[in-house]
């Protein structure tokens, strides 16, 4: 079976407080976008292994045995009888971008195995499994817009529909350390939470919806600030960095001609947001 894990963007991100456990509480919105990886699982008859991962596309560093997709398989295999499988993952979603590609791959692996092996696991149970793999992994189970709080793991449904808008995602060859990003932020509880701001017209977001990571990260990576400014020059109604970066995106009312030429040397993709809230159907 094959499926196509989609990315997400953060619309706004406020770091509200540092927790006693060393993590930070957040105020953000997750929204699925139609930038995809490809994930195929094939039963490996007679194999002397449980799950073997084959990678292509964007290079991923590290041992494949520790990849979230393999960990997702073994998480279910601890509770269910699963066949040995070969997994083919073609990476298109940029890594280290704040787009959730690895989390999406893991959650889609859970969903695919549930369907392929007729395990009958509910979405709520799949979310619980996904939460054991990463804070934002459960988002990709239902894959609809949410207002996220806690460490980005407490989801609240939100009436946000960007269908028909055009999104441009730009990821330069810049690495942003998440640890470094948090070190440059001073947590502060906002007077108005993001779920209240996001219901206002998109044309107002530029002045009201912000990402707390941008100030510090833009100071050490001014090229990221330049990309955001360029998106606005091209006509974006709203532009921002996603999560702790280093991908940025712009929302446009109309498609932008020749967008790739504007960001040569970067990953650059333009998509029309679908009529459905889902990045891809189940």
Task: List residues with catalytic annotation.
Answer: 8, 136
Residue 277 sits at φ, ψ, to 5 deg, of -75, -15
Can you read off the two tokens belonging to residue 157? Answer: 């449904």
CA angle, 276 then 279 then 281, to 5°: 70
Kind and range of the H or E element at 42? Answer: strand 38-43
Q: Is 70 helix (H, G, I), strand (E, B) or coil?
A: helix
Can you read off the two tokens belonging to residue 170? Answer: 């730009």
**DSSP annotation string for 100-165:** -HHHHHHHHHHHHHHHHTT----HHHHHHHHHTT-TTTTHHHH---EEEETTTTEEEE-----TT-
């Amino acid at each position: 079976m094959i499926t196509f894990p989609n990315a997400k963007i953060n619309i706004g991100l406020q770091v509200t407080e540092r927790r006693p456990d060393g993590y930070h509480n957040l105020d953000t919105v997750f929204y699925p976008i139609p930038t995809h990886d490809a994930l195929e699982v094939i039963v490996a008859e007679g194999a002397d292994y449980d799950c073997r991962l084959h990678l292509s596309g964007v290079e991923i560093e590290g041992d494949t045995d520790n990849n979230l997709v393999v960990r997702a398989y073994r998480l279910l295999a601890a509770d269910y009888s699963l066949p040995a499988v070969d997994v083919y993952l073609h990476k298109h979603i940029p890594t280290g971008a704040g787009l959730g590609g690895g989390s999406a791959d893991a959650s889609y692996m859970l969903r695919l195995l549930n369907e392929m092996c007729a395990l009958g696991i509910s979405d709520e149970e799949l979310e619980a499994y996904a939460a054991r793999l990463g804070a934002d992994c459960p988002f990709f189970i239902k894959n609809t817009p949410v207002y996220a709080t806690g460490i980005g793991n407490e989801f609240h449904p939100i009436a946000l529909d960007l269908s028909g808008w055009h999104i441009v995602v730009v990821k330069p060859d810049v690495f942003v350390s998440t640890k470094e990003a948090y070190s440059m932020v001073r947590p502060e509880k906002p007077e108005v939470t993001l779920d209240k701001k996001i219901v206002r017209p998109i044309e107002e977001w530029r002045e009201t919806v912000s990402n707390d990571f941008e100030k510090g990260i833009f100071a050490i990576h001014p090229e990221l600030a330049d990309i955001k400014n360029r998106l606005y020059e091209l006509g974006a109604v709203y532009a921002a960095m996603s999560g702790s970066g280093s991908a940025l995106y712009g929302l446009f009312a109309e498609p932008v001609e020749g967008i790739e030429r504007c960001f040569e040397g970067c990953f650059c993709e333009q998509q029309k947001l679908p009529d459905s809230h889902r990045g891809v159907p189940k």
